[in-house]
Amino acid sequence: MPPPFQSLGNRHPSFLLRCCAPTNHNHHSSSLSAQRGNNIRVTMDRLTDAAHLMIVSDLDHTMVDHHDAENLSLLRFNALWEANYRNNSLLVFSTGRSPTLYKELRKEKPMLTPDITILSVGTEITYGNSMVPDNGWEEYLNHKWDRSIVTEETSMFSELKLQSETEQRPHKVSFYVQKDKARDITKALSTRLAERGLDVKIIYSGGMDLDILPQGAGKGQAMAYLLKKLKSKDKLPKNTLACGDSGNDAELFSIPDVYGVMVANAQEELLQWHAANAKDNPRIIHATGRCAAGIIEAIGHFNLGPNKSPRDVTGLLYSEGTGPAHKVVELYLFFEKWRRGEIDNTEATFAQINDFFCPSGILIHPSGVEKTLEDCVSSLKACYGDKKGTHFRVWVDQVIPTQLCSDSWLVRFKRWETSGEEQRHCCLTTILLTSKDAQCLKCGYVHQTLLDGLAKGSSSSTSFLFF
């Protein structure tokens, strides 16, 4: 085995290329079932110990603020999570959206990739990037459930308007109904379905959405199922924070020993539930911050860990004592702010990024072009403010550091970039960082693989010439 890196210098060893080269994402496993099983195993077993924190968050108007055109609160959360939590915690998105609408939202907003996704108001649980379904959960929901009977009985209520076909799922039938009619319809429908031998749950939320599910389904039950599953593996999270804004999130706050945050913009139906059921529960708060800002606020309120996002830091970015993941987040924040002209264009400022890279280190561009990091830094200097006044943003996702030896870390992540109305681009990026005890980390190698299908050498990918 090669000796620990003291400095990369001019070396570009073949073993470094082998250990840093990203996986070929066009390769398909010969066994789909084996791939699915491995995906679930990796998701559930990624952490060697219990998660420090598990966040279970609704998406629309909770994690995602649809009134924030700049997506600043979401980007603040992203930076906080990737810098401080990704490597030892679990992120779970729990949404009323179907898989189709969930994937559409991911294309519209700068969202992180969760470890686990709870979809369709808690009727579907999936794992990892490939969103592999939990078959055990599906089987559990079949008890006293017959979708055809639900469809037959609901057809008797002219006030119920079916939602789009994408929102009709194996264990969920969804309608729109006027608020003033919802209570009476819910009561009558519950009686009729019970008489037909079904055991269902009817959830009204958002002032118009009515969902019919198996009694055992729901966001709260899905979260309880996950907690039980993790406990069976001796990996029950040390802390769990549930986050929501509407009526179908109420169940999340009913699970014992879970912290909860209703974001500032929570709907009346959830606030009424809280007043009637949990107003004296100190583990549930109504935040003053909207959406993701409220989630960050709750992390601090309950002392669950660091709650200062790197996006909120002013002054020097490359502070002492931060680990590899934090350094990666800081690097790309610097890159964004430099090109947006939001930091001072001085020699002292630029010296921060210049000092971070080993001059003779190597960057391999998605096109296959190899450049020295010194050349890349020089090119970056000329780009100061070239994105000023635009919607240019950069964020990183799934930042996972692996310690190779006492002073070397391999960090893999997805680097996303968007600018105005242009298509978003993503690079699978691998960086090699070296130092002693994670202090004064320096980068000596960067390898990028374009993931969004752009042609090599495309003008749309020129920004990736810089990191």
- What mean pLDDT value characterizes the chain? 86
Indicate the residue among 192, 214, 236 that finishes a domain: 214
Instruction: List the single range of 5-9, 228-232, 446-450 with lowest mean pLDDT.
Output: 5-9
Number of domains forming the structure of the chain: 3
Q: What is the pLDDT of residue 43?
A: 62
Are 264 and 306 in a shared domain? Answer: yes
Q: What is the pLDDT of residues 397-435, one digit of tens each?
A: 999 999 999 889 999 999 999 886 557 889 999 999 998
Within a domain: residue 34?
no
DSSP 311: G
396 has pLDDT over 90 = yes
Residue 187 exposed, middle or buried by CB count within 10 Å (0-12, 13-18, 19+): exposed
pLDDT digits (tens, 9 = 90+) for 239-270: 999 999 998 899 999 999 999 999 999 999 99
* Calpha distance 110→31 (Å, rounded): 32
Q: If you average pLDDT over residues 78-84, what whole number do you get? A: 97
> Which of 341, 342, 338 minimizes the C-alpha distance to 353?
338
d(C-alpha 285, C-alpha 262), whole Å: 6
pLDDT of residue 28: 41
Kindly state whether residues 357 and 446 are assigned to the same domain: yes
Does one domain contain both 229 and 92?
yes
Q: What percent of the chain has pLDDT over 70?
A: 84
Q: What is the reported pLDDT for 351?
A: 82
Same domain for 322 and 287: no
Point out the domain boundary residue: 155, 189, 214: 214
pTM: 0.86
User: Do residue 354 and residue 432 come from a single domain?
Assistant: yes
Whether the Cβ atoms of residue 58 and residue 223 lie closer than 8 Å to each other: no
Instruction: Say whether both 410 and 332 belong to one domain.
Output: yes
Tokens of 372: 């020295």
Chosen domain end from 199, 214, 229: 214
Closest C-alpha to 168, from 154, 158, 156: 154
> Span 300-311, mean pLDDT?
96
Residues 268 and 181 in one domain: no
Residues near 104 by beta carbon (within 8 Å), at least 6 away in sequence: none
Assign residue 208 the CATH number of its domain: 3.90.1070.10
Return the beta strands (E) in 74-208 as ranges.
Answer: 90-94, 116-119, 124-127, 132-133, 161-162, 173-176, 200-205
Residue 261 sits in a domain whose CATH number is 3.40.50.1000
What's the rounded Cα separation, in Å, for the pair 316 and 48?
Answer: 34
Lowest mean pLDDT among 235-249, 388-402, 446-460: 446-460
Mean pLDDT across 431-452: 84
- pLDDT-based confidence at residue 316 (cuts at 50, 70, 90): low
pLDDT band for position 451 (cuts 50, 70, 90): confident
Q: Look at residue 135 and tell me if it is in a domain.
A: no
Q: Is the pLDDT of residue 19 over 60?
A: no
pLDDT band at 160 (very low <50, low <70, confident <90, very high): very high
Note whether 423 and 355 are same-domain residues.
yes
Which CATH number does the domain housing residue 381 bear?
3.10.450.50
Give the separation between CA 371 and CA 149, rounded to whole angstroms: 64
CB 260 within 8 A of CB 270: no
Is residue 462 assigned to a domain? Answer: no
Do 267 and 230 fall into the same domain? yes
Alpha-carbon dihedral 29, 103, 220, 222, rounded to 10 degrees: -20
Q: Is the dihedral of CA 455, 365, 42, 397 positive or negative?
A: negative
157 and 187 in a common domain: yes
Residue 21 inside a domain? The answer is no
The verdict on 334 and 418 lying in the same domain is yes
Q: Identify whether 16 is part of a domain.
A: no
In a domain, 356, yes or no: yes
Q: Is the pLDDT of residue 52 over 70?
A: yes
Same domain, 119 and 177: no
Give the pLDDT mean for 318-334. Answer: 82
The answer to whether position 26 is within a domain reads no
**Can you give the residue range of the structural domain that contains 262?**
48-129+218-310
Residue 338 predicted with pLDDT over 60: yes
For residue 197, is it within any domain?
yes
Confidence of residue 438 (pLDDT cuts 50, 70, 90): low
- Greater confidence, 305 or 16? 305
